[in-house]
Amino acid sequence: MTTHPPIWTFVLCTLAVWRVTHLLAEEDGPWDLIVRFRKGSGDGVLGRLLDCFYCLSLWVAVPPAIGMGNGWIERSLYWLALSGAACLVERFCDRPETAIPEIQFLEGDNPCAAVKNER
């Protein structure tokens, strides 16, 4: 019988994958070490990998997936699931703040019953 890790292990690994991926792809890091590493990587394969959260999450998800799964099929599923879950967290956290739309009234419209049109 195969034992699966508890759901909280998956959640913790998802958050860890997101955190490490976000650090490497989006943040400067302590003493600007990460941003210098990204700049030093140039335009090669490694540089392009560090510029893409989604690509990088696939690589960051490998070690926890290996630790969570039993056999290559299970490890492959955990690998994709951890990367996908980290991408969902990124999409959720990376939402731009939406501005409140400005309400424009046409001439003659009365926005409030308490406001009287002065003509």
Q: For 32-47, what is each residue's pLDDT tens digit?
A: 888 888 888 888 788 8
Residue 15 falls inside a structural domain = yes
Q: Is the pTM here over 0.75, yes or no?
A: no
State the Cα torsion 48-53-56-57 to the nearest 10°: -170
Residue 100 falls inside a structural domain = no
Number of domains in the chain: 1
Residue 56 falls inside a structural domain = yes
Q: What is the pLDDT of residues 54-108, one digit of tens each?
A: 999 999 999 999 999 899 999 999 999 999 999 999 998 876 666 666 666 566 6
Quote the domain boundaries for residue 65.
Answer: 7-93
Say if residues 50 and 56 touch (Cβ distance below 8 Å).
yes
Q: Is the dihedral of CA 79, 84, 90, 93 positive or negative?
A: negative
User: Which conformational region is residue 105 in: left (phi greater than 0), alpha (psi within -120 to 50 degrees), or beta?
Assistant: beta
Say if residues 41 and 50 touch (Cβ distance below 8 Å).
yes
Residue 115 falls inside a structural domain = no
Q: What is the mean pLDDT of the chain?
A: 83
Burial of 61 (0-12, 13-18, 19+ CB in 10 A): buried
Residue 37 falls inside a structural domain = yes
Q: Which residue has the tokens 């997936």?
A: 65
pLDDT for the residue numbered 44 = 79
Let me know the angle formed at the C-alpha of 39 by 36 and 43, rounded to the nearest 5 degrees: 160
Q: What is the pLDDT of residues 2-35, one digit of tens each?
A: 577 789 999 999 999 999 999 998 888 889 888 8
